[in-house]
Amino acid sequence: MNIYAASKVAYRSLRANKMRSILTMLGMIIGVAAVIAMVSIGAGANERISAQIASVGSNLILVIPGSTTSGGLRSGFGGVPTLTMADAKAIGKELAAVARATPSVRGSAPVVYGNQNWSTIIQGVTPEFFQIRDWALAGGRYFTGAEVEAAAKVAVLGQTVADNLFGEESPVGKIVRIKRVPFTVAGILEKKGQSPQGQDQDDIVIVPVTSAQRKILGSAHIGTVGGILAQAVDAASIGEAERQIVELLKQRHRIGPGQENDFSVRNLSEMLAVAEESTRIMSLLLGAIASVSLLVGGIGIMNIMLVSVTERTREIGIRMAVGARERDILLQFLIEALVLAVTGGAIGILAGVGGSKLISLFAGWSTLISSGAVFLAFGFSAAVGIFFGFYPARKASRLDPIEALRYE
């Protein structure tokens, strides 16, 4: 019997038991739809994380004061001001693997414009910061190195701050008061959205580091900074850049071998890679859970095929008596299982795609349907059909024709 003839026979017998066939397919439909929806949710989350990672800036290295030794007291981790402006300058200028670096101080302060007032983060940096964070302007200009030297009272606003203080008005050139000190708005930054940690990155005011220290935040030790942001020349040299920074700072801080560092270096890409990995595992988990329902669908097919083989024992006997070989019977039942699985799979794909669209529409989660996942789900459902159809089909093909003909 050829495949075409076998398909016709299979189609006919599935139609003869419409309700049963539909219910059996429902198992596959739910399974495939669940896999597609879950994988698309996972892929969507993954994509969002990737976008966030890109928004933080590439090849970023963070140097913070304090030691990271494990065990014992980590007193003043990030608090003891051991890093200086000069350290930042040296990292940016002297190291081959570091493209640029900026000192950074952070604090919060109220910002006032007219009768509007907004409490936000004030970050003091040098102009390299904008390159390191890959942060474009929405309007106006960045502040310059000369302005840093002069501790000029200029500020660049994040979108959230601009929106809250100015609304529709254009902020560029206007005067805002940060802790009652008047600053001229030089530029507005483009929107970056949430950080991987869920903070609003646009709720910020960037000012020259000198201005921040002298006019807004103050500083206990003159010349010290809260941290240093550095950018490696490329992704491959992040490790080398880290090593060079540690070496340079050890030398500059006169830390001998065996002594504890008074600073620590962190690689942001690494931290974010961890976040990415966790969403990946999450989406794998979702897919795995959904696959269980696909498995259950497959068992449903096997179950119904076994019932069908028993019910049609006599038919099998007749077919054998008129000359059907084992492989003819095997093919017939295998194709029947395959038709069930693949039809269910196809409907399941439609349901899964529709479902994930609905999820992103109503729950606001980003979903991403890849053609790979669709093909995989379809292939998997066909495989399920063959796998779970094989045992019943084989059972049918191995029947003794005499027994089968006698079966009532």
- CB 382 to other proteins: min, Å: 25
Both tokens of 296, joined, read 């259950």
Q: 206: which strand partners?
A: 123, 156
Q: Nearer to other proteins by C-beta: 323 or 364?
A: 323
Distances in Å between the Cα of 288 and the Cα atoms of 211, 238, 249, 291, 298 are 54, 35, 47, 5, 15
Q: Using CB under 8 A, which residues numbered 384 to 403 contact other proteins?
A: 401-402
The site that binds other proteins (CB under 8 A) totals a number of residues, namely: 23
Q: Nearer to other proteins by C-beta: 17 or 219?
A: 17
- CB 307 to other proteins: min, Å: 17
The residue type found at 244 is Q
Distance CA 93, CA 101 (A): 8
- CB 309 to other proteins: min, Å: 15
Q: Nearer to other proteins by C-beta: 291 or 332?
A: 332
- CB 401 to other proteins: min, Å: 5
Using the rule CB under 8 A, give the single segment among 11-19, 34-42, 93-101, 205-213 that binds other proteins: 11-19
Q: Using CB under 8 A, which residues numbered 286 to 345 contact other proteins?
A: 314-315, 317-328
- Contact between 273 and other proteins by CB under 8 A: the answer reads no
Q: Dmax of the chain from CA atoms?
A: 104
- CB 318 to other proteins: min, Å: 5
- Contact between 405 and other proteins by CB under 8 A: the answer reads yes
Distance between start and end Cα atoms, the chain = 26
- CB 392 to other proteins: min, Å: 19
Distance CA 186, CA 205 (A): 11
Q: Considering only residues 7, 13, 261, 313, which one is a binding residue for other proteins as defined by CB under 8 A?
A: 13
Q: Nearer to other proteins by C-beta: 1 or 271?
A: 1
Q: Which residues contact other proteins (rule: CB under 8 A)?
A: 1-2, 5, 12-13, 16, 314-315, 317-328, 401-402, 405
